[in-house]
Amino acid sequence: MNVREKYNQITLKLIERGLTITTMESCTSGQIASLLTDTEGSSAVMKGAFVTYSNEAKIKQGVPKEIIEKYGVYSEETAVSMAKEARKAYDADIAIGVTGTMGNVDPANNDSVPGTVFFAICTTKDIYFKRFEVAPKENRLEYKLAACDVIADCLLDLLKDI
């Protein structure tokens, strides 16, 4: 199943279960929200989303500056905080926070490791976290879709238990 089919399935499951979702995305630049909303009826489940590409944007949406300073913007702690803040902002059942470095080193952040992505999924009961590597890709869209694919697999697994 390709990444678009996975998100279609996720959105349909959310609709069927009456669950809402939101995202705070950095390296995926809103690609997850876009994929979720490609399915007819997604407005019933997508509460809204944040694209927080810069550290400043993350902080403005509630990620504590101290977390970024202590653990780095590319960290489990930042991804978890992003998910928690997005969930709180939209009072959603599920929230995804994702941060990482695609193709090349980020000169503004010394914790940048190309291809390394951190994400968290925050539900009403739990927080799930994962760090993974994206193999080199031809372009930015391929990096984003590869990251979204890994996150989709985790979402599909989580939806079995929700």
Query: What's the pLDDT tens digit per position in 44-74?
Result: 999 999 999 999 999 999 999 999 999 999 9
Q: How far is CA 129 from the centre of its chain?
A: 11
CA pair distance 82, 51, nearest whole angstrom: 11
- Whether 35 contacts 4, CB under 8 Å: yes
Full set of structural domains in the chain with CATH: 3-12+20-161 (3.90.950.20)
Query: What's the pLDDT tens digit per position in 66-114?
Result: 999 999 999 999 999 999 999 999 999 999 999 999 888 888 888 888 8
